[in-house]
Amino acid sequence: MDNKKVILITGGSSGIGLSIAEKLTGQNYKVISVSRNQEKIERAVKEKPQLKNKVDFIPGDVSSQESIGKLFSYIQNQYGVLHGLINSAGIISIGTLETLSPADWQMMLNVNLTGPFLMAKTMLPLLKKANGASVINISSIAGLRPGTSIGYSVSKAGLDMLTRFLVADLGPYNIRVNSINPGLVKTHLHFDNNIFTSREDYDKMIEGARVRHPLKRVGEPVDIANMVNFLISDEASWISGAIIPLAGGVTEENGFLPPKRM
Ligand SMILES: NC(=O)c1ccc[n+]([C@@H]2O[C@H](COP(=O)([O-])OP(=O)(O)OC[C@H]3O[C@@H](n4cnc5c(N)ncnc54)[C@H](OP(=O)(O)O)[C@@H]3O)[C@@H](O)[C@H]2O)c1
């Protein structure tokens, strides 16, 4: 085995996670991705064929301790160490207190919040071995203010607190923990979770959001991947506990624009 740093990305088969995988393999990291559906892995390899033999696409579910245990054994046996854990796997169901089902609420908490907790807890022995590992949680600006889904916002607000908590727990092992909180990014998220079923409606929503952004564009997955690439590097070795809104000029001061037509 060569000396590449080993990075685990959850949800590396799509959207932001896939872009992070592309960025990091290009920077000479060894990337492992965990996700559930084989079809999405095939879609990823079709979108980015250069990643086919560069990323270990491992099937697994971040909300299942059994699944994470198997993943731990795989990484332990293949690489024996983990330099980075990027929790990007996430799901969304839109709804308010009155409209969101308890099942959808629970699913979002399981995947978006319990997943990163279980992942960090299980992978800790491998992260400790890196002597300088980095954990990055892909949260959302929806965790910083109420968004379009009560369950999603609560899960992401919880994830930010997990970040803040782990800073103190893992600092003594020289493990840094940070959160990136993206605004609206063009990925498969809204289609794969049935928020939109028609391309026309989705494009309308994106255009409505675009013009409300100070920078007049919504995010691309690579905007997030670029920040991950910095945060995971030695150049960020004194950054831990940062909660970083990454949203094209959408800030707390301007009330985290968009919606209007979302
Ligand atoms: N797109 C946005 O506007 C936006 C904005 C703010 C924050 N975010 C956050 O960014 C992260 C990535 O989202 P995205 O937009 O890139 O969405 P995406 O394109 O739908 O990708 C989500 C990824 O997560 C995986 N995943 C979902 N549930 C999983 C589970 N239980 N176990 C393992 N993998 C699972 C999916 O694969 P499988 O379904 O095959 O498992 C897929 O690879 C999410 O945490 C999301 O909340 C997105």
Domain ranges of the chain: 6-246
90 CB near ligand 1 (under 6 Å): yes
What CATH number labels 6-246? 3.40.50.720
Edge to edge, what strands does the sheet with 176-182 contain? 55-59, 30-35, 6-10, 84-87, 134-138, 176-182, 243-246
Let me know if 172 is exposed, middle or buried by CB neighbors in 10 A (0-12, 13-18, 19+).
Answer: exposed
**pLDDT per residue rounded down to tens, the chain (262 residues):** 578 999 999 999 999 999 999 999 999 899 999 999 999 999 999 999 999 999 999 999 999 999 999 999 999 999 999 999 999 999 999 999 999 999 999 999 999 999 999 999 999 999 999 999 999 999 999 999 998 999 999 999 999 999 999 999 999 999 999 999 999 999 999 999 899 989 999 999 999 999 989 999 999 999 999 999 999 999 999 999 999 999 999 888 887 776 655 5
24 CB near ligand 1 (under 6 Å): no
In single-letter form, the type of residue at position 6 comes to: V
170 CB near ligand 1 (under 6 Å): no
Q: Give DSSP secondary structure letters for 183-250.
A: --B-SSHHHHTTS---HHHHHHHHHHHHHHSTTS--B-HHHHHHHHHHHTSGGGTT--S-EEEESTT-
Paired tokens of 201: 């409606």
Element (H, E) at 93: none
Question: What is the structure's pLDDT at 1?
Answer: 54
Let me know if 3 is exposed, middle or buried by CB neighbors in 10 A (0-12, 13-18, 19+).
Answer: exposed
Q: Whose CA is nearest to atom 26 of ligand 1?
A: 89
Question: What is the structure's pLDDT at 259?
Answer: 61
- Would you say 208 and 262 are in contact if contact means Cβ atoms under 8 Å apart? yes
13 CB near ligand 1 (under 6 Å): yes
Residue 1 alpha carbon to ligand 1 centre in Å: 30
Assess whether 202 carries a catalytic annotation.
no
